[in-house]
Amino acid sequence: MSPGPNSNPTLKRDKLYYGWIVLILLFVTGIIGLGIRFSFGVFFKSIQEDFGWGRTSTSGVYSVYMVLCAVSVILIGWALDRYGPRITLTAMGCFTALSLLLTSQVSSPWQLFITYSLLLAVGTGGFYLVPMATVNRWFTKRRGLALGIVGSGGTAGMMVIGPFAAYLISDYGWQTTCIILGSMALLIIIPCGQLLRKSPSEMKTPSESGSLETANHGLPVEQRYSEPGGLSLPQAVRTKNFWLLAFMLFLFGSSSYIIITHLVPHAIDLGINPIQAASLLSFVGGSGIAGRLLLGRASDSIGRKPAYLICSLLLAVAMLWLTKSSDLWMLYLFAALFGFAFGGFGSVNAAFIGDTFGLRHIGLIMGVAEVPWQIGATLGPVLAGYIFDVNDSYVFAFIAGMIAGLVVSALVFFLRTSKSPTP
């Protein structure tokens, strides 16, 4: 008697697709890793007072960190493609923990540039790249939704880790807070990293829809799970899409980090209570989660280019609104619009890269593509600060952000969509 169609255990459906487990693990590590990355502002005044620095010198620690992140993310992308997420994320957790534990023991200001700027850049520089590249490999049909969910981890981290660190600093001091956060990285990121796998080809499990996902269902099962194809980095760099995307990331990163860095001081300048002003960033984080989920899911249905366009136009409208905003409710509305666009852009961008350049070298390609974003994130706030020093107002900086959003909107029309990249 011949075996039935479901007698092959390889073809049986799992109760839970392992990709969802991978997604949850990366969501949790994103809360810790990106939460730590965005929490420097909470430590700012304590470090400044302890070492007797000015604001420029104290800001320099974070500026050097951001520059080093632009370098480390390329190396992390290469390591992700070569060694997989388990080894890569575990190493990142080790560097993050080591950075914070050593930072708690510094006795001279210059040591912060090594313990914090350098080591933390290696530890946390890839906490956007690793989840996005890994989830890209695990999901196809629901790629936008899955990327929106995993990307929400970092946005949630912005909302949770910052206030948690502020509470710890007020009660125990910034050194003890570093020890606690470093211990969290050690006890959460590293164990989660050990449970990761690179792609379904290593697990040989059904797809997230419960059926074997392949372009050709007539292939043998082993071939169905072979490593997906895609462009190499040199091949990707030779495409028009890559350079359009790089310029879009630079512009969006520049305008976004103007807001992340200067929104709270701007609100205080308008006479808003400092606590209420600080709450605007939490509001940005909350609406960012909605943007990642809704626009990530929408991009699966309407396409990546229309979703890109929604993000960039919303950014432009939000920046224009900010130039006219003087009351708290107007700033909250701005934070909702901006956060939705900022969060949605991350999900749509990661999905577009996976669709366009393929998955074989996605870690390295995403790492190199993130460099313009990091450069923009470094230069945008500096430019906005200079504009304020000259004009005693952020208005022209916000107008520049609006123009950047409009330029990104125009560039979207020149992108070419492709689901089958070929060398």
Domain range for residue 389? 230-412
Residue with more model confidence, 147 or 2 = 147
Say whether both 257 and 188 belong to one domain: no
Say whether both 287 and 375 belong to one domain: yes
Say whether both 253 and 130 belong to one domain: no
Instruction: Note the pLDDT of residue 202.
Output: 54
Residues 286-308 pLDDT 10s = 888 888 888 888 888 888 899 99
Residues 161-199 pLDDT 10s = 877 888 888 889 889 999 999 999 999 999 999 998 766
Does some domain include residue 215?
A: no
Does some domain include residue 208?
A: no
Q: Which of 2-11, 142-151, 334-343 holds the top average pLDDT?
A: 334-343
Does some domain include residue 128?
A: yes
Say whether both 290 and 349 belong to one domain: yes
Average pLDDT over residues 365-372: 86
Residues 13-54 pLDDT 10s = 446 778 889 999 999 999 999 888 877 767 766 777 788 776
pTM for the full predicted model: 0.73
Q: How confident is the model at residue 155 (pLDDT cuts 50, 70, 90)?
A: confident
CATH number (domain holding residue 321) = 1.20.1250.20
Say whether both 365 and 268 belong to one domain: yes
Instruction: Note the pLDDT of residue 35.
Output: 87
Which of 188, 203, 218 lies at the terminal end of a domain, its last residue? Answer: 203
Average pLDDT over residues 146-167: 83
Does some domain include residue 421?
A: no
Say whether both 249 and 318 belong to one domain: yes
Does some domain include residue 220?
A: no
Does some domain include residue 222?
A: no
Does some domain include residue 366?
A: yes
Say whether both 199 and 273 belong to one domain: no
Does some domain include residue 142?
A: yes
Residues 272-289 pLDDT 10s = 886 777 778 778 888 888
Say whether both 166 and 309 belong to one domain: no
Instruction: Please tell me the total count of domains within the chain.
Output: 2
What whole-number distance in Å separates Cα of residue 315 and Cα of residue 307?
13
Which of 152, 168, 203 lies at the terminal end of a domain, its last residue? Answer: 203
Instruction: Note the pLDDT of residue 7.
Output: 45
Instruction: Note the pLDDT of residue 281.
Output: 77
Mean pLDDT of the chain: 82
